[in-house]
Every structure is written in C-alpha cells, then in structure tokens.
Chain A
Amino acid sequence: MSLLEIKNLHAKIGEKIILRGINLTVNAGEVHAIMGPNGSGKSTLCQVLGGRDGFEVTEGSVEFDGMNLLEMETEDRANAGLLLGFQHPVEIPGVKNIYLLKESLNAQRKARGLGELDTFAFMKQVRELVKSMQMDDAFLHRGVNAGFSGGEKKRNEILQMLLLQPKLALLDETDSGLDIDALKIVSEGINRLRGTDRGIVLVTHYQRLLSYVEPDFVHILYKGQIIKSGDKSLALQLEAEGYEDILKAAS
C-alpha cells in the first residue's frame, strides 16, 4: 500500500480551475520533489491536501495511508500523520510556541490512543530539537512566529515536523527566503526525518534545496498537471536549461 495516492485530482477555487488531473504516488521511504513555475498549482495542491477551506475538489481521489484523505477534517489529517509545512507560516501573537508544540503533540498522541507526554520528557525533547535547529530557548516563549524572520519561521516549521514525526511531510517552499546557512540547517532537519517508514514531498522552485536533500523522484507541475517525472537529474536539467525547453518538449 502506498503512503499517498493521488488520482486524477481536479480542484478549483471559485470558478478558477487550478488542478487539472494530478496523479502522484508516494511510498514510504521515498522523497519526492515537485517543481514548477509560478502559478502552476503547487501551493494549491498543498492546501487541498491539507484541507484548506475555499477549494473545491471536482474530480479524483486522494488516499493517505489507506484512508480517504479528502473526507477528513484538517486536524484529523494531521493526527493521521500528515504534516503541512507552510510557505508563509502565519503569526499568532499571544500563543506561545511552547504551548503550540505541546498542544499539537498531545492532540496527535491522544488521537493515536497515547497519553499526554510527561512535561519533563517533553521539555527535554523540545530543547534538543531547538538546539539542533540552532535556535535559542527564548524562542519557545515567544508568540508563534510573531516577529520571526523568514528564516526563523521556516526553522520553526521544521522543528514542529521533527517533534511531530509525521508519516508524510508535505513541505511547501520551505527553502524560499533562506540564506545559505539556514538552508543547510533546514535541510539537515529534513534529512533527519528521512526513513524507511516515512515519505517526504518537497515543493520548490529551485534546485538548490535538492542538493542538500536528494530526492528519489522529481516531478514537474505545469498548469495543474504533472507533465514530466524523473529522478534527481531532472532537477539538474531544469536548473541548467530552465522550464521553457522542458515545457516545450512535453507539450
């Protein structure tokens, strides 16, 4: 059984059709990269998989770990092991990071029939993660993403991912807005999640993230469809030649 199986997915927002028949299979242990020019539907795909209101799925199906993903509430998707890493993580002043981390971990543990994690064990785990992401402990007591730099927000996304240990991480342009040091830290974080029982989908514009997190598969999304798939060499080809030639060849 695949971890994620997207079949002929069509979606629109209002009258605007954005996804026009996406097919994608992700198995446990695999890292996929989805690339594509602006407006190709990358972010919409992430939002639809995350369960964002406002998008209407008109055709197709998505199976996640044997479940009909599209029928699930956003929080149930998370509790089933899907993590959406945001391109623009929203600021929530007043809600402390540490509180968000604890609430989300406990919500997910509860959904899996586990008890709440003991506070000391939790704090120990969180402190180690903060250190590994080269962040300061003080960050735990700041409002969620409030006043964070772009790089801090993305590191925060990866930190949450590492704490929650999702079966499938769907990371929407996690590399955008990162300087080279932050890119390395974030990439190391993603690589730590890699494992035979997990899948990772990287949505990105650029090849540079993929030199740190090597994908098993690369897909090119264009006008709401995956028009070409290949291995990591496809990303390199894209980097060298640009989208234009590949789009021409594919059409």
Chain B
Amino acid sequence: MEKVGAVMIVGAGIGGSQAALDLGDSGLKVFLIESSTSIGGVMAQLDKTFPTNDCAMCIVSPKLVETGRHQNIDLNINCEILKVSGQAGNFTVKVKKNSLYINPDKCTGCGVCGRNCPVEAIDLFNEGLAKYAATSVKYPQAVPLVYAINKDYCIGCGVCAGVCKAKAVEYDRKDEIIDINVGAIILAPGFDEYLPPEVNKYGFGKFKNVVTSIEFERILSASGPYAGRVLRPSDGDIPQKVAFLQCVGSRDYTGEGQPYCSSVCCMYTAKEAVIAHEHQHEVKPTIFSMDIRAYGKDFDKYIIRAQEEYGVRYIRSRISSIDEDHKTKDLILRYENEDEEVIEEVYNMVVLGVGLNPPRDAQHLADKFGIKLNPYGFAETDIFNPVQTTKPGIFACGAFSQPKDIPETVTQASAAAGCVDQILFSERGKLITEKTLPPEIFVAGQPPRIGVFICHCGINIGGYVDVPEVTRYAATLPNVVMSDRNLYTCSADTQGIIKEKIEEYHLNRVIVASCTPRTHEPLFQETIREAGLNRYLFQMANIRDQCSWVHMNQPEKATEKAKDLVRMAVNKARRIAPIDRIKLGVTKKAMVIGGGITGMVAALNFASQEIETHLVQNESKLGGFANHIYHTLEGGDVQAYLSNLIEKINSNKFIHVYLDAEIETINGYIGNFKTTVLHGPNKDRVEFEHGVVVVATGAKEYKPKEYLYGQNKNVILQSEFEKILNTNGAIKDKNTIVMIQCVGSRNDDHPYCSKMCCAEAIKNALLVKKLHPEKEIIILFRDIRTYGFKETYYRKAREAGVIFLRFDENYPPEVTVNGSSLKVDVKAKKVGNLLIPTDLLVLSAGIVAPHEENEELGKMLKVPLNDDNFFLEAHVKLRPVDFATEGVFVAGLAHCPKTIEDSISQANAAVSRACTILSKDEIEAEGKIASVDPSRCSGCGMCIDNCAYNAIELIEDRRFGTVAVINQALCKGCGACSGNCRCAAIDVAGFTSEQIYAMITGRL
C-alpha cells in the first residue's frame, strides 16, 4: 500500500486550524473540511479569553488568515462527509460540498447582496440575538470571506443576483461530490454547548433575561448585537445585578444534563463576570458555583483578581429555582447557602454557565470514520495517547474527545499533527507546491509613497479615539498618498484591500495604526510581500494597547496621542528601506532535555521520523516523576507504560541517551545549535549539533513543612501512600485515614493549583476502599477539581463512602499529636468544628518548579520563567509549547503542573512544532540585524566587548585598515554594539539612528 503525503482535518475551529498549519508548514498537503461556511469555530465567537483577557478575535484572526492563505492548505467549507474507506497511510474520503448558491471564486465579499436582501434570517453567529439577511457571511472578519445564501429563508426574489457586480450569485449552483485521497485523518469537530430542555428550572426560553454563557459572550463582544455594551435583552437596560450559574448541564445526575464536568465553565464565567464589570462598571456580578475549578496555569490568580479587583462575589450553592417578576422582568433566585439558610435574591439578569456536549453529529462522524465513542458520546481515545482514536491513522483533538479549553485544544491539535508526522514523515514535500511570491518591486531611490491604514478594532480603538479625525490628519502628512480606516485591519477582507490600495496608489511604504506589532506585524508584512513590497517597508503605530485602552476616559487626549503616534510612524516610514533576509541551513537533529515520560515520548517521536535525537537526563535513570506513580485515575498502568518506553528508547538507534548529565553550554540559534554535555560518573564531555531543543525538565513534589510532616511517622505524602498501597505495604492497623488537599498549593508561596492532587487523592481513596472497604477515609479539601470525565471518579468515591469535608482557606486544619495517634482539628463547612482522631494523615503535596535549575537553563536558552518558576511559553492561548526564542519548545511539568496524558500530548505537540523547522533544508532568518560601515569604523573593538553573541570580530580591511565585521547568522539585532559605537559606524536595520531621530523630531 502506498502512503499518501496528505492529511484530512475535519473541523476548522482553532484546533483544526492549528493542526492544519503545523502539517502544512512541515510539508504535507492538508485538506481542511468545515461544515459551516467559515473557519474559526467557537473561538471566533468569544469576546475575550482567560486568563489574560486577550481579545479572542485579535489573537485568532491572524491564525485564521494564515490558514486561509496557506499554500499547502486546501480549505473546503460547507461540506459533509459521505464515505470513508482505506486504512492508515491511505484513506479515500468522499466529501459533498454543499452549494453556497454563490460562486466562491467570483465573490469578493463586498456584502452588497446582504444589504439589499429583503428577507431577514436569524444570525446564528450572534446566537440568535440579532437578525441577518438570508444572504450573508457568518461574521465580518470571516475566513474565507465568501457570502452564502440561506435557502431556508431565501424567497428567490432575485434582488441579490441583480445587485452583484461580480456576477457571483448562481441560484442553480449544484452541490459537488469529490473524492479526497489522504494518508491520515484528524477529527476536530469541537463541541456543541448544552441547551436546557424546553421546560427547565432556570426559565431559559421563557424569561427573556435568562441567557446562556455563549449568548452573553456575544453581548460582550464589540462586534455583537449591542456593540459591546452590557444590556439585558428584555428592555435594553444596563443590568446592575447579574447572577452567573455554574454547572448548568454539567455534573448533573438527574438525567437532564451530563454527569461529567465541562472543565471550562468556571474560568469562562469568571472571565465573563470580569469583562462585564469592565465594560460597564454598574454591573455587579455574583457567581453561584459548587467548586471553583481553576486548575490551569495562572487560573487561580485570575479568580483571586476577579474577587479582589473586580468585586466578583462567589456563593457556594446551586440554585434551586428561578422566578420572574412579571413587571420588571427581574429574576428572583432561591438558594441555600453554606450555613443551610434559604435565601431569596433579586437579579436583573441571569447567565447560565452551560456545559459542553459532544458535537451533535458525533455519532454520524464515528460511524463514517469507524471509530468508537465513549459512554458520554465523545471520541474514545487511548489512555496514554489522548489524541489516538480507536482506529489507527485517525486522530482526534480538542473538545471532541473531552471538554477542554483553548490552549489544551491547540496543544492536542499539534499533538495530533505530531502523531501524523510519525506515519507520513517519508511523504513530506511530495504533494505540495512551493509558494510563489511576486518579484519584489524595486523601490530604492524612489520618493516615499506612504499608505496609512487606521483600525477601529471594533470599538476597541474606535470607541475612544476619533478614528475618522486621525485618518484625515494622516492624509495631511508629508509623503502620505493614501489614508483609510477599517473596522478590523487584520481581517482577511482588509488584507485584500491593502493589496488593492498598494497597486492603486503605487504605495512603497505601508503603515497600519492598530494594535501591537508584537502580535500583528508578521501578518501585515506577509500581506505587503504578497503585493510585491519588501516585508520591511512596513510600520505599525500602536494606537490600541498603548493608547485607546490606557486612556479610556480621555478620548480627546487619546485622539491627539494617536495622531502623534501616526505622525512618528510616518516620519520613520519615510526613511525605511528594504531589507533582505538571509537563509540559514538546518541541522536535522534534536536535543530533548529531561528523561521523564515527556522527554522520552518526544525523543521517540523524533526518532520514529528518523531524526537523530540527543536525550539529556540529569538523573541516573530515566522515568522522572512517573517513577513514583503506579496508576492513573482512569486505571492506566503507569509502570508498565514506563518500562515499555525505556526499553524502546534504549533499543532505538536514532536516540543517544546521556544519564547523570549536566549541560555545560548551549550555543547557536534556530536550526544550528551546538551543545556540550558532561555525563556519566566520569563526567565525560560530549559535544553535538542539533536544530531544535525541547525542554522537558519536569518538576518536583513539594516537601511540606506543615502538618508535622517529617516529624511524625504517621504523616506521609500521597506519593508515599500510593507506594504503600501498591507494594502490599501494611495499612491494616490504620482504621481512619485523613487526607489534606492543597498542601503547598494555592498559598502565598505557591499561588497556583497543582492540578493532579485531587485526582491522586481520589485514586488512592478508591484503592483503599477496594482493598479494605471497612476503612474510614476523610478528605479535607478546598475545592475538588476533578475536571472532565474525572468527575465520575469523584462520584464513585462518594458512593464508596469516602467522606469529603470542605474547609475554608483562612482556617486550615490543625494537627496535634495525641499519644500514639493524631488528631485533626478542622472547621468544616456545613458541619462545623470537628476533632477527628486519625491513624494516618496523608498530605496531598503540590508540584513545585526547581527554581535554580530552571533559571540556569532559562538563561542558557534565553527563555523566560513565570512568577512560579515554571517556563513561560510564547503565548498562553495559542502558542502553548513554543518559546518566544525560535527553535526552542517546552513540554510537560516544566510548563506547569499537569497529568501524564497532558504531558504526552505536549511532548507530541512540541515535536510537531519542531518538525515545522526540521522538515526544511533552510529557513529564513530575521533581517533586522546590525552592520558596520567600514569607512567610519575606527577599529576600537568596543563593540566586541558588548556583543553577547560573539558575533563581532576585527579584521584587516584592504581599504580601511582594522575594522569590525558582524556575522549575520549570529547577530540577533539587539543593537548593544550600535548604542556604544563612538564613531556611529554601526547601525541596526529596521531601527537605524536616522529612523529613530526622525521619530524624535516627528513631534515638532
């Protein structure tokens, strides 16, 4: 059977798009199949994302644009899967492309058809809160920007065909059926949100001011039905008291909802509460929840901020009923608080934190692709590889296998791509075509012709800065020949506009005044390059992050500042010149630091693609943290898995293992690293070259100082307890066992959740109950964070008789020794003060990052740590395993506390990201580097001392004598040499002194 160098991805939300980009970038052909008419999925519907409050559209839009225009990605919208045949390596999929009734090749997305359509259809993107024409796009920034006619509403009047200048409307356009041949398949259909049944206790569907969280998300959005103002649907008033109800349709055993935890609702509700208050200070949010499950990286800090800075009130309760005041349309909520009092409160609006259901067509997809679903209706996946479905060659990522948030989805998308790489690595480059760019227009020596594009960014800029005024002002500046404004300059349609304007006005410099160049510069640079301009003939003025958002109360001053910023950008743009990027070779080898499960999975993935891999482990054996774990909560045999991995590693000819190793130096840059390692008992020195680095250094278990640990032999850690239970250690004489959660987590020293301790405690408690049903187990907790399907084990533990008591964080339990036994004094909620005599106290110790080791490695690799000493990724949401430093990736516990399955996903994801580099023969380096003007250089050598990269040396020049020269491949463009050059002989491309002076004088 011949392998096919192509992949099909079903579902083009953020997960599908990420997988497509990874695979497309590593040389495979990608067929991206989407059932709706545009890509972006649920993320495009969101207003902001937690825990950074990043604007969702702003961060997802560049990704979608990239996906839409990627040379190797074939985007198919409005599709249905008909039939799948074949097996791993060679599948044939029959796909039906449903007609849009508009020719996508002709449609320009101008929208005239929609504006002239006499028929109103319901706008599903805005969750039915607004009306649209029957001829529409899903949302204004949609990728691809192609209109479609909704035949359910269309009356066939023919108006749209009459007004369409492009002659794109074709009422009789037929559906198309095609066969697509691929080597592997990734399923990323996402989820559907839970919708309460017609008759429900929340009054949803009956009371107008009860909305779901996703509807509320659209209300918050600048592009939503109320343009970002928080208004309630019944009368358009600002709701002052808003109640958010958690676990609607989740953790529900009544049969109405789902028994599992939907994992994301606690965080998105906190975010919606914060953003609502931010948009309208009158809004006072109250959140009703059972547990607060803020288990992810920096999530707990967000919850604390929500409470302390935004005044969000948390009440631990589940609402029993809601009534409506018929006159005011206010809502009356009844609940029982923790002191068992029944309380009635009036709210102006209620938001239901609805859970995540499997996608409606999950069964259909499963049947077509021949995969199994789990009892909850999600894709069943391998216990140690969460992206592997029950059928080889078919992978699942994102919420299709379990409810999950955006970074986990993006990680799994890359992980699925990493697993596809393993099957199809040999077929790379066989089915793709090289991207052809038009030749660069020669602009040197020509007078600048500057085009300025000013962004409204919805209301993010336009709501505070007078954008039309700034646009008018920009047109008056020297050399500006064109000035225009856009709702979202980063959207796909605007990229087309920019290209048109470049041609129309013969622009040779382009300025975008919008958000920060740190996220959006590459997108615009790519756009102008496609229009034939050198990438560096581009400037950005940051009038959002550094203007409209920070001067919200001073619109006049903000407008004045925006003008200044635009003028400074214009002044610089007048002096910018094209820069050529240099090409760098790639050493097709990898280094993985850390020999735990994460590091080993990464190394094995590289090796299975025949990439030589150096695995560096600081301990004397492989295994890391997993050496102390026997089973996962779900029953996976960790020790068997681990020994299997180690055996594979040791027998693989592509992997070099260094034990007891320490890294002496890491030199070089993306594609070309050189590392020296001291290893073994004799500290032998070995030096090797590699193109990428994966940091999988892991973390440690916290060694408690509290609760008499180390002082009393009956106080042990959860991991020690696990060992006793799994090695037939005796606990016969221990009749009462008390477990304390959050030891060394969620406190001042370690203000984060260690994520796995709740599952560990429940796993061990269940095992005790299985071995010795008569033992009494009491778990003292703050929140039980059994997210996702782990929730069922929490339920099982309760059913098995494990007692759960919640204590307040301000009153932690106190432990005293009483002769030979221990006593735990706890102020438990609902029960009151208890003095529990216990035979064994088990502490659920958290996970801590090794501070000094991480800091040292961070410095060597030039990558940052967060406040808690875990490694800090390039972007919390969309680049979860990348570092800002190119060619370096992070996976596993080094990133933050997580489960074994998540670590394995991250390992595969890191490999997939690395393969976007290792699959290429050469990569283009950054062009903004320093250069020496030999006619000015006096050869003093000051710059050599200042260069941290050893990129400068003195040479004898035939004409100028001793002068400095800079190695282009080593230079990072920091400019430390230039800043100190007494002869002004060194300049940095893109930041030349002339350009900076122009910005300084630009004020006058």
Do A and B originate from a single complex? no
A positions within 8 Å CB-CB of B: none
B positions within 8 Å CB-CB of A: none
